Structure 1
Amino acid sequence: MRRMANASEALRILGIDHDAGRLYLALLESAPAPLGEIGTAAGLEGPELTAAYGELVAAGLASVAVDGHDVVSPLPPAAGLEMLGRHRAAELDESRIAVGGAFESFRRQRLAAHRDDLVEVVTGDAIGPRMRQAWASAREQIRQFDSPPYFPIPGATDDALATLARGVTQRVVYSRESLEHPGTLEAVIEPCIEAGEQARVLPSVPVKLVIIDDAYALVSLSIKEADVHNTMLIVQPCGLFSALVALFEQAWHNALPFHGRTPRPGGLLPADRRLLWLLAGGASDDVIAREIGVSRRTLFRRVQILMARLGATSRFQMALQAQRCGWL
């Protein structure tokens, strides 16, 4: 049952709801077979079965069925994943527009009418102390988007570990570039995960952001192309702050969980589990090979062995099967 829940979570991240996720797993297990039989295996019937299967068809993951007696089967997921990926990209674009609109509204309505310091600009050497102060001030939770470029702050990882030790919940969405940035995975990300940080990964994050409790947010005005991070906004509760919180929660919902080196049951070698998590996190083959200490050729061979063990014909199917086996 727990493995089924893990696989359903993987499908949910792709935008497939709970019932459709159960049905897809039953489809992978039993197809080709009549739709009614697949529905019975998933515990669905009638309108619920019709709606769930219709979602799979719309996502390009299953063949079309006219009625419950049709023999159905899963489709190669490449086209469906492309559709889902575009849908997620559109959602992030809408979120960026919402944040921009909220800021414009804030600027026109609040700053024009009041002289409250709702947004403070911090630059240069003042950034490090303010960020350390922010971590120390957290009482309940920290929410963060993490991506290069990084501002050099001595002791930043120790501050994060100390915050976790105080019982503060820390949720971080890392970009793929964070995993690929030299030294960041082993020296920063994995120690925090082992200390209790909840981490997820997206191909990219819309902004470098830290939200402290429901009190204020730190927003980097970094220049990615020049690898420069020398200006930061501190945003107090207002329309812009609410939009930043909503943007984080939507990205967190869509991101893939990442557990680093954390031990998990499932009878898998630690190096292979690490390989799977890096692969699921979107890291490139070069980065994965470097992180687990093998050549690209050896990495390819290991991936092929894992696919064979899981009975998978693609990396996507391997990820789903690994979730079901409790390997991720």
Structure 2
Amino acid sequence: MMHTKLREALRLLGVGETAGRVYLTLLDLAPAPLAAVGSAAGLHGAELTAAYAELVDAGLASGAGGDGELVAPVPPAAGLEVLARHRAAELEESRIAVGGAFESFRRHRLAAYNDDLVEVVTGEAIGPRMRRAWASAREQIRQFESPPYVPVPGATDDALATLARGVRQRVVYAREALEHPGHLKDVIEPCLEAGEQVRVLPSVPVKLLIIDEAFALVSLSIREADVVNTMLVVQPCGLLSALVALFEQSWSAALPLHGRAARPGGLEPTDRRLLRLLAGGAADDVIARELGVSRRTLFRRLQILMARLGAANRFQLALQAQRAGWL
């Protein structure tokens, strides 16, 4: 189980599957000759050399002796920082590319579409159109969620009803969604406990709702005015495929928050909410406001949680809480 989690963590950081096998073998055998490591991992020749070179380039392995015969893993802090920054840069590059392509489409091509590939919905028609979209889902819903929000009475009930029908829901929330007053407690957590799969990113590139493989709803928000006044309904086409690909890449890079499947004994709901807000990057004032406590009480709860998990700081607390299934 531990190797499976570590292999997945390495994959998310951009380490290839073959290089990951070599790294896991290094952890078991090192220091050892590279040939022996390769033999244990079932690799030889150029394939082994390339995998080991990938680990060296990532700052995860190096020679363990002056003669260069022995190899071993090295303290990963610097290497993991480089890998994490590289993955963040890749995601940002993809976000800019897809966002730019969509913006160009919106500005220059939308008016030319006369074949019903894109429908424009405005004003008061947005809420009913969204509710019909939720009701039409049969297999899965994928969503980017962030403020500003359009008032849709019964939206949370619709999501819960969709989950009850067995429709898979995957949502990537922007950090602002967790910080929006009452949103974590009243909207996110009820759906999370009902089986919604939730992940968090510092920001999402666009407000998006993808229904099965049938169509997508794209919100054109005016952030400065905190309103949503226009929405595009995108039917199957190259643009829909690009939006699906953007969601899947963002989903892979986002931080998971777990619900009822991972409920540690003795963890109060307030502490669970605290950890979710902390992992999402919320500021102390926001966390205290959402929990309804003073800053002093917040700091005391943090100290207790760090002591329970053996964490020396908040970063370690979020990391250990994730490993323990507390998020």
TM-score under structure 2 length normalisation: 0.79
User: What letter matches 1:211 in structure 2?
Assistant: I
Aligned to 1:176: 175
Aligned to 1:154: 153
User: Which has the higher mean CA deviation after the structures are superposed, 211-220 or 62-71?
Assistant: 62-71
Distance 1:178 1:257, change over 3 A: same
Is residue 208 of structure 2 the alignment partner of residue 200 of structure 1?
A: no
Aligned to 1:101: 101
Q: Secondary structure at the match of 1:221?
A: strand
Q: Over the residues paired in the alignment, what is the CA RMSD in angstroms?
A: 3.7
> 1:229 Cα shift?
0.8
CA contact (8 A) 1:268 1:327 kept: no
Q: Secondary structure at the match of 1:264?
A: coil
CA contact (8 A) 2:62 2:72 kept: no
Aligned to 1:269: 267
Distance 1:76 1:95, change over 3 A: closer
Aligned to 2:131: 132
Aligned to 1:34: 31
CA contact (8 A) 2:178 2:184 kept: yes
Aligned to 1:247: 246
User: Where does the alignment leave 5 or more consecutive residues of structure 1 unmatched?
Assistant: none
Aligned to 2:85: 85
CA contact (8 A) 2:140 2:167 kept: yes
Aligned to 2:70: 69
> 1:259 Cα shift?
2.1
Distance 1:185 1:21, change over 3 A: farther
CA contact (8 A) 1:176 1:202 kept: yes
Cα deviation 1:230-267 (Å, max 9, x = unaligned): 1111111111111111111111111111125x362555
Cα deviation 1:277-302 (Å, max 9, x = unaligned): 33223333333333444433443444
Distance 1:216 1:326, change over 3 A: closer
Q: Secondary structure at the match of 2:262?
A: coil
Q: Secondary structure at the match of 1:230?
A: strand
User: Where does the alignment leave 5 or more consecutive residues of structure 2 unmatched?
Assistant: none
CA contact (8 A) 2:110 2:118 kept: no
Q: Secondary structure at the match of 2:203?
A: coil
User: Which has the higher mean CA deviation after the structures are superposed, 304-313 or 201-210?
Assistant: 304-313
CA contact (8 A) 2:143 2:172 kept: yes
User: Which has the higher mean CA deviation after the structures are superposed, 83-92 or 211-220?
Assistant: 83-92
Cα deviation 1:194-215 (Å, max 9, x = unaligned): 1111111111000000011111
Q: Determine the C-alpha separation between the residues in 1 that align with 2:241 and 2:180.
A: 30
Aligned to 2:227: 228
Q: Which has the higher contact order (CA 8 A, sep 6+)?
A: 1
Map 1:248-327 onto structure 2 (within 5 A).
248-260=247-259, 262=260, 264=262, 266-267=264-265, 269-270=267-268, 271-327=270-326
Q: Determine the C-alpha separation between the residues in 1 that align with 2:155 and 2:265.
A: 35
CA contact (8 A) 2:163 2:169 kept: yes
Q: Determine the C-alpha separation between the residues in 2 that align with 1:308 and 1:24.
A: 31
Q: Secondary structure at the match of 1:222?
A: strand
Q: Determine the C-alpha separation between the residues in 1 that align with 2:22 and 2:275.
A: 24
TM-score under structure 1 length normalisation: 0.79
Q: Determine the C-alpha separation between the residues in 2 that align with 1:247 and 1:122.
A: 23
User: Which has the higher mean CA deviation after the structures are superposed, 183-192 or 91-100?
Assistant: 91-100
Identity in percent? 64
> 1:320 Cα shift?
4.0
Map 1:42-57 onto structure 2 (within 5 A).
44=41, 55=54, 57=56
CA contact (8 A) 2:144 2:247 kept: yes
Distance 1:22 1:315, change over 3 A: farther
User: What letter matches 2:128 in structure 1?
Assistant: P
Q: Determine the C-alpha separation between the residues in 1 that align with 2:32 and 2:305.
A: 30
User: What letter matches 1:177 in structure 2?
Assistant: E
